[in-house]
Amino acid sequence: MLKESAERFVSGEAGFQHTREGIRFSPANWKTMADLGWLLLMIPEESGGLGGGAIDAALLTESFGRGRLITPYISTAVVAAGLLARADDFSTHSALLESIGTGQALVALATEESSSRYDLNRITTAAKRAAGGFTLSGEKIVVQDGAIAGHFLVSALLEGKTTLWVVDKDAAGLTRRAYRTIDRAPACDLSFADTPATLVLADAAAPLERAIDQARVLLAAEALGCMEAALSITAEYIKTRTQFGRTLSSFQTLTHRVADCYVKCEQLRSALFRALSLIDAEPRARGAPASAALITAIEAGEFVCGQAIQLHGGIGMTEEYVVGHYYKRIRAIGRTYGDLAYLRRRYIDLTQRSA
């Protein structure tokens, strides 16, 4: 039922729509998602949510990929909600968590720095005690969905330990530089100058790694949706497009390309199933398949969506046609929670330690 409702959602007004400004985040779509209860899905029952799991969320993100939605679902309703639900002092952050579930709050995770290279513990942003609380100093880059967020979860060092803090977008000393990434998503860079912050987790290394692994798997599911949609559109296109008096589907070499794309989709589906089956396992058992799923998504997505553009020809390159946007989303996914080089190193390290 969840899958069917998500498919109806993206096949209607929420699906790909190109305007003169391109494709953008839709507050109306976000409100509908809140009304459907999807923003409560990953919040634990004891915290007022539905207590769903990663498989439930993967059904949604796969559909979002198919409809090419720009939505902060993973960053806000999965990553941020999951971390706030595990806060050291839950009562301090319960109101913000409730606002996420009702669609009133957008929260973005800020962990990446110019020298961190996706390492969650390689950070220079620092927290220090100040009168009446704590302040942060430092910088964060490429904060996913940060341009539209009202709050940020920021990683920082305190006494040599990775900690997590919540910062309001209007906090003193916070500077935000907003921009759009290649897939038109609203991102930003942040600068903190003695910015007031509230502690969420005093020991955030393990919870952050778990949350990011979950996000990697859900991004792989979104990539699968992008790939399947691009493949479906392309297969239908070559059945009707004619060249030299024949449909493109009558050329065997082109149908072989479509078959190769189908195989790539199934390879990603298998990697995704394995990652989902181990998403709640201990860190090493969880981390390797999560990395493998995203590696497969990046490599297979590049092939499938690239072939979709090639088989469409010139129309595949136009801004108004959806196929090119699937490709751009795959490229953005490949730089979100680790690129191929980082993920491969992580996979090798985790599998060697397990062995």
In single-letter form, the type of residue at position 118 comes to Y
Smallest Cα–Cα separation from 86: which of 209, 218, 219? Answer: 209
CA 58 – CA 224 distance, rounded (Å) = 10
From-to residues of CATH 1.10.540.10 in the chain: 2-101
- Global model pTM greater than 0.85: yes
According to DSSP, the residues that pair with 178 across neighbouring strands are: 188
Q: Which of 8, 6, 18, 9 is nearest to 328 (CA)?
A: 18
Alpha helices for the chain (secondary structure H): 2-11, 27-35, 54-67, 81-85, 90-101, 205-240, 252-277, 283-312, 322-333, 340-354
CATH 3.30.565.10 fits 207-354, yes or no: no
- Which residue shows structure tokens 């078959």? 259
Amino acid code (one letter) for 263: V
Look at residue 257 and give its three-state secondary structure. helix
For the chain of 355 residues, list the mean pLDDT of each consecutive stretch of 10.
Answer: 93 77 87 95 89 95 95 97 95 95 97 95 95 94 97 97 98 97 96 97 97 98 97 94 87 93 98 97 94 98 97 90 95 96 96 77
- Please name the fold of domain 107-203: Butyryl-CoA Dehydrogenase, subunit A; domain 2 (2.40.110)
Q: Can you name the CATH fold of 2-101?
A: Butyryl-Coa Dehydrogenase, subunit A; domain 1 (1.10.540)
The pLDDT of residue 141? 98
**Six token digits for residue 29:** 């779509």
Q: Which residues belong to CATH 2.40.110.10 in the chain? A: 107-203
Which tokens sit at 210? 């778990």
